[in-house]
Structure 1
Amino acid sequence: MRTDRLARSLVATAATAFLLTALPASADEALDALKAQGFARIAIANEPPFTAVNPDGSVSGAGPDVARAVFKRLGVDDVVASISEYGAMIPGLQARRFDAVTAGLFMKPERCAAVAYSQPILCDAEAFLLKAGNPLKLKSYKDIADNPQARIGAPGGGTEERLALEAGVPRERVIVVPDAQSGLTMVQQGRIDVYSLPVLSINALYKQSGDTALEVVAPVEGAPVYCDGAAFRRDQTALRDAFDTELAALKASGEFAAIIEPYGFSADAAINANRDALCAQK
């Protein structure tokens, strides 16, 4: 009998411990953990101007720079980045490999259901990189779907991949591209006919290439404007709310504009956008 009571007691204790660890941490608890850690771990895609890893290994780009400024206001000294494919960012966040995602991960309903987004940070439209003269006359994702010869490259799990598939491009003609340099090379070599990324990313890639045999179509006809935000785990809405408070102060002070506008982003677009509306946008 005593053994049964002891077993029940151990089970109850274990269940209580599980419930306590499963409860959402308060903003103070989450912040204390990050302060003790000394940095916030962020996921990025190394896609300038959203995110970038410099030759010396340091992290820049509009997303990490805003995250660094906000976390500093919260008392967290720095950010440490890990490069990830878009499709792996949310699973990595949920598995606690990152503390946040600050990578041009545009808001859409299924992502908003999986993570706790901050208010908008970076907004952009979609663009195509293709051969000069646009030989296949591709100006929209539907144009690619309607041309049985056209192949599009896009980041795996990214918005561009989804837009292509939703426009009716067959899966076998949507080529997953691991990074921007690979996308550029694949267009140059004729392995894909168009590479799709946000306008600012495509323009930065095109400018860096110096290849006059290429051109940019921007913005893509019929594609919506999207905004990202810093993404946190669903059990860390208190930390997200604290981030939002300092993000709002950063926007109001003018520092936000000073950070992102040199990268080509519009501060007004992010300030005037709203998370709830963006999360409802298909």
Structure 2
Amino acid sequence: PYTAVAAAGKVSGAAPDVAREIFKRLGVADVAASISEYGAMIPGLQAGRFDVVTAGLFMKPERCAAVAYSEPVLCDAEAMLVKKGNPKGFKSYEDVAKDTTATIGAPGGGTEEKLALNAGVPRDRVIVVPDGQSGVKMLQDGRIDAYSLPVLSINDLVKKANDPNLEVIAPVQGAPVYCDGAAFKKGDEALRDAFDVELAKMKKSGEFAKIIEPYGFSAAAAMSTSRDKLCAAK
């Protein structure tokens, strides 16, 4: 969903679609795509082989030191799948911990299991779920009150389940959010800043959500954090 190349060579995906719309607003009618291996993106940007990277290059302090990132575009955050209407009112793993009757399903040994346990959910109320389909079925059958996975994974399961009685809570409050941004060459901050102005307008108007959410991404997750926070994260 980040970036895809069609047979005819046209690049699509959430990141290029956002960038294409922003550059159009900046008066750039034609954006030429250059395909690169993941590890060659930053060196290629620094060498001037392309002007911007929009391909799921997640922000980390060492990358923030090497490139000029825009504000967050695509994020993967934690999500919870619950019954429609969120009957127990879950917004965080702490909410599950406080409800002494609540159970939450998560992959064994995964991030979500650790986050739930660290939030104070007792071991016997964190149910190990072997796979996504099992998690959905257990929730539908009432054997768990919530099922937690990253946003992209949960949205994919919901799409396949096609069950109107399910609801996604995302991002889970207090849980880590990992985001990419459009990466510009150091020294091109003026272009980056112009990009950010249009990105902010799109986030406010809802146009941003219309572009990325069909791909399974959460606009709310991207709007819940900032470049400064992500670049400072340990």
| CA offset digits 1:118-139 (Å, max 9, x no partner) | 011010049xxxxxxxxxx653
Q: Is 2:232 the counterpart of 1:261? A: no
The offset of 1:61, in angstroms, is: 0.3
* Secondary structure at the counterpart of residue 31 of structure 2: strand
Could you tell me which of 66, 70, 75 is aligned with 2:18? 66
Whether the aligned pair in 1 keeps the contact of 2:151 and 2:217 (CA below 8 Å) is: no
| CA offset digits 1:80-116 (Å, max 9, x no partner) | 2222222211100000011100011111100001100
Matched residues, percent identical? 75
- Give the aligned residue type for 1:139: G
Structure 1 or 2: larger helix share?
1
| CA offset digits 1:153-205 (Å, max 9, x no partner) | xxxxxxxxxxxxxxxxxxxxxxxxxxxxxxxxxxxxxxxxxxxxx8638987x
Q: Which residue does the alignment assign to 1:152?
A: none
Moved over 6 A (4+): 201-204
- Give the aligned residue type for 1:50: Y
1:104-143 alignment, distance < 5 Å: 104-125=56-77, 139=110
Aligned residues: 158
1:224-239 alignment, distance < 5 Å: 224-239=176-191
Inter-partner Cα distance in structure 2 for 1:257 and 1:244: 16
Q: Which residue does the alignment assign to 1:168?
A: none
Q: Is 2:48 the counterpart of 1:77? A: no
Inter-partner Cα distance in structure 2 for 1:256 and 1:83: 24
Change (3 A) 1:236 1:66: same
The offset of 1:225, in angstroms, is: 2.5
The offset of 1:265, in angstroms, is: 0.7
The offset of 1:272, in angstroms, is: 2.2
* Secondary structure at the counterpart of residue 33 of structure 2: strand
Could you tell me which of 51, 68, 73 is aligned with 2:3? 51
Whether the aligned pair in 2 keeps the contact of 1:50 and 1:201 (CA below 8 Å) is: no
Inter-partner Cα distance in structure 1 for 2:154 and 2:42: 24
Could you tell me which of 193, 196, 221 is aligned with 1:241? 193
- Give the aligned residue type for 1:281: A
Inter-partner Cα distance in structure 1 for 2:155 and 2:222: 20
Question: What is the alpha-carbon root mean square deviation over aligned residues?
Answer: 3.1
Question: Please, which runs of 5 or more residues in structure 1 have no aligned partner?
Answer: 1-48, 127-136, 144-197, 208-222
* Secondary structure at the counterpart of residue 104 of structure 1: coil
* Secondary structure at the counterpart of residue 83 of structure 1: coil
Change (3 A) 1:200 1:78: farther
Question: Please, which runs of 5 or more residues in structure 2 have no aligned partner?
Answer: 79-107, 115-149, 160-174
Larger RCO, structure (CA 8 Å, separation 6 or more): 2
1:26-41 alignment, distance < 5 Å: none
Inter-partner Cα distance in structure 2 for 1:269 and 1:98: 28
Inter-partner Cα distance in structure 1 for 2:177 and 2:223: 14
Whether the aligned pair in 2 keeps the contact of 1:64 and 1:79 (CA below 8 Å) is: no
The offset of 1:243, in angstroms, is: 0.6
More displaced stretch, 81-90 vs 101-110: 81-90
Change (3 A) 1:117 1:73: same
Under a length normalisation based on structure 2, what TM-score does the superposition of the two structures give? Answer: 0.60
The offset of 1:253, in angstroms, is: 1.7
